[in-house]
Chains A and B, each alone.
Chain A
Amino acid sequence: MRTNFKANAGVRFQMLSEDQLEELFNGVLHVLEYTGLEVQHEGARDVLEEAGAWVDGERVRIPAYLVKQALASAPRSFTIFARDGNPERDIHIGPGRAHFGPGPTPPNFIDIETLERRPYVRSDARIVATICDALPNIDFCESLGTISDVHHELAATYEFAEMFPRTSKPIVAWSYGREDAEEIHRIAVAEAGGQAAFEKRPNYVHYCEPLSPLVSTIEAMDKLIFCAEHRIPVIFTPCPLAGGTAPVTAAGIVIQAAAESWMGLVVAQTLRPGLPFFMGGVLSVMDMNAMILSYGAPELSLMMAGATELAHYAGLPLWQTGGCTDSKTLDEQAALEGSLSVFFSALSGGDLCHDVGYTESGLTGSILQTVMMDEAIGYVRRITRGIEVNDETLAVDVIDTVGPDGHYLREPHTRRHFKSEFWYPTLSDRRNFEEWEMMGGTTMGERTVTRAQEIMATHEPAGIRPKTERAIEEVLAAAEERVE
């Protein structure tokens, strides 16, 4: 027996000190109390005023104690359940658990057959869901695009209807507003076995996006309120640009993003105490020459790590960002930017890391990037698992047995551990030159494309209930009627 033995179960890093985090935290409270936000949704303003916020026209200021109450009622740990009841696919949110998945709504997509950039279409949602379902290091699913070949108001509904049967990993859904949010919810609830069953075991997450700087738009609040009413785990995530729609400094943008997100938190927790809530924010720089929001900048990783540490300090899970790039194609830049950001995201322990597969600064979704990043995430996860230290792993007795000039290949200790201690690549090549050449002399990019195509040709996701299939048909028919 040991006493007072302290062990690190994995590799983590802490960037900001307790004092610095307290400064950031107080900065957020200050902005919410003294500057306030423009809340354009009248119902949300009423909820906030009733709770004790100060409402002056559309400007809402929230005294710090109210924010602290909301933080106290929001859970730090909860579970998003796989729709098919497979516990290995549940997502447990909690300290030291980093999960990864794609992002929503780029207008373009890289075709996995022709490798051309073209508008995102309905069948792409099936491809993304099927491939995400098969990738071992992708934990949740998003569409990587906005469907362009259905009625424009129904893009989100069709997207969910196409993805839900093709992946049993939890989906992060988005919608334009309340009507399509309802349609999506009807599909998820059919599979869960009714609203009451869904509330106990939620099987998807909804995504709302307020506007920077400091505006809670009608749509964002309407969706948030819908989620609170139906106990749908919710992400409230602004997209501020440092130097453009937010302060240029990393500390400043973290404070502003948190204030924007926590306005949603206060509304959500007032309406539905205990609602699973992800603090959000895609935080990066506005490139002052290219004039884009950079998805490959080192500052993105740095600012996201700052936001993660602040969220965890405040007791909230964070909607992280990584695996994305400003590159237009599956090249060295895409690998560099994507890999470093997933590594940093995993180190910070951000809870759901999205945008794995964003390219061209968020304008083009690429499932090929996601496939390549699945490899990077596997690599990173081996590192963040850290070094286990106990009698078995110290192997002092094995060292003694083998002694000088021996070898370890036949040792039971080696056989016991070589599979779990080592990570084995899927896409990276470790063969010698001759074998590599004999196997076609391919690049990692070429192998990535082949893997995506092979998954599409062979992978069979777990099915949905027949009842849910009917529900999807009904929802789509009713949705078409709605827009007629």
Chain B
Amino acid sequence: MSDVLSEISAAVIKGNKDSIADLTQDALETGQEAQTILNKGLMPGMDYVGVEFRAGNMYVPEVLRSARAMQTSMDVLKPLLVAGGVQMMGKVLLGTVKGDMHDIGKNLVGMMCEGAGFEVHDLGKDISPEAFVTAVKDFEPDIVGMSALLTTTMRSMQHTIDALQEAGVRNRVKVMIGGAPVTDTFAQQIGADGYASNAASAVDLARQFVDGA
């Protein structure tokens, strides 16, 4: 592997946002393809971060710093990847459901999905089923992620899925849900495609969705 690619991996792991833009430019100038930089520089770095996080050796703030470094590099690479006709990881639409103002978990999922190479559109909190439907039509995501902290607002997830169904867009997206009181059983009950118990497994689930598609 070329030195610059392993330097990029290391910059992702250390979360070195300041150096990674230059490293990415260097790699491009030495003739590396954007696709190669993504697959052999950035992704191995983020994969390492994921493994270390699950092992309990890295912590959320460090993971987010790595995700941010990856984003910085992606800002440079993305126009090239798109121009080259490369398929991106996929698009994720996120929101905390109607009535719920607790959004830190959802924010984490967003930051970690971005780190994994997804394009993320975060609607914010207290999002009505109608607003989800409109955003699905406008943003055309592959995945819709919903979160709730309260047992009372969990039900809004059902309403949102119903609204997607009624609008005729349910089949265009995979729906994943999460939040402290949410369970796998609940996800099945309301007809979601999947449930993730934390932000890291939400990223795994999102990957499965786009790989399976």
Report A's interface with B, CB cutoff 8 A. 105, 107, 146, 148, 152, 176, 211, 215, 217, 241, 243-245, 286, 288-292, 362-363
Contact = CB atoms under 8 A, between A and B. Distances in A.
Given A146-B151, A152-B155, A289 B105 contact: no
A107 B151 contact: yes
B174 interface: no
B104 A288 contact: no
A232 B61 CA distance: 42
Contact of A152 (B53, B58, B152): B152
Contacts of A105: 151
B86 interface: no
Contact of B60 (A211, A215, A291, A362): A291
Of A146, A152, A288, A363, most buried by chain B (CB within 10 Å of CB) is A288
Nearest to B154: A107
Contacts of B198: 290-291
A209 B56 CA distance: 32
Interface of B: 53, 56, 58-61, 101-102, 104-105, 108, 151-152, 155, 180-181, 198-199
A71 to B, nearest CB: 28
Contacts of B181: 107, 363
21 contacts: A107-B181, A148-B151, A152-B151, A152-B152, A211-B101, A215-B101, A217-B101, A241-B104, A244-B104, A286-B60, A288-B60, A289-B53, A289-B56, A289-B58, A289-B60, A290-B198, A291-B60, A291-B105, A291-B199, A362-B180, A363-B180
A176 B180 CA distance: 18
A288 B61 contact: yes
A289 B104 contact: no
Given A146-B151, A291-B198, A291-B199, A211 B102 contact: yes
B56 A291 contact: no
B128 to A, nearest CB: 16
Contacts of A241: 104
A144 B152 CA distance: 16
Nearest to B63: A288
Contacts of A146: 151
Contacts of A290: 198
A289 B59 contact: yes
Contacts of B102: 211
A215 B102 CA distance: 11
Contact of B152 (A176, A211, A217, A288): A176
Given A107-B181, A217-B101, 13 more contacts: A105-B151, A146-B151, A148-B151, A152-B155, A211-B101, A215-B101, A245-B104, A288-B60, A289-B56, A291-B60, A291-B108, A292-B180, A362-B180
A291 B53 CA distance: 11
Nearest to B59: A288
A64 to B, nearest CB: 28
Contacts of A107: 151, 181
Nearest to A108: B181
B180 A243 contact: no
B61 A243 contact: yes
A243 B60 CA distance: 10
A399 B148 CA distance: 67
Of A105, A215, A243, A291, most buried by chain B (CB within 10 Å of CB) is A291
Nearest to A360: B180
B202 to A, nearest CB: 11
Contacts of B56: 289
A152 B108 CA distance: 29
A288 B61 CA distance: 7
B43 to A, nearest CB: 22
A378 B20 CA distance: 59
Nearest to B53: A289
A362 B198 CA distance: 16
B33 to A, nearest CB: 36
Contacts of B199: 291
Contacts of A244: 104
A252 to B, nearest CB: 15
A288 B59 CA distance: 5
Interchain residue pairs A-B with the least CB separation, the first 8: A288-B59, A288-B60, A107-B181, A244-B104, A291-B198, A107-B151, A289-B56, A146-B151
A293 to B, nearest CB: 9
A363 B181 CA distance: 7
Contacts of A362: 180
A286 B53 CA distance: 15
A299 to B, nearest CB: 15
Contacts of A243: 61
A107 B151 CA distance: 7
Contacts of B104: 241, 244-245, 286
B110 to A, nearest CB: 14
A482 B108 CA distance: 38
B7 to A, nearest CB: 27
A152 B181 CA distance: 15
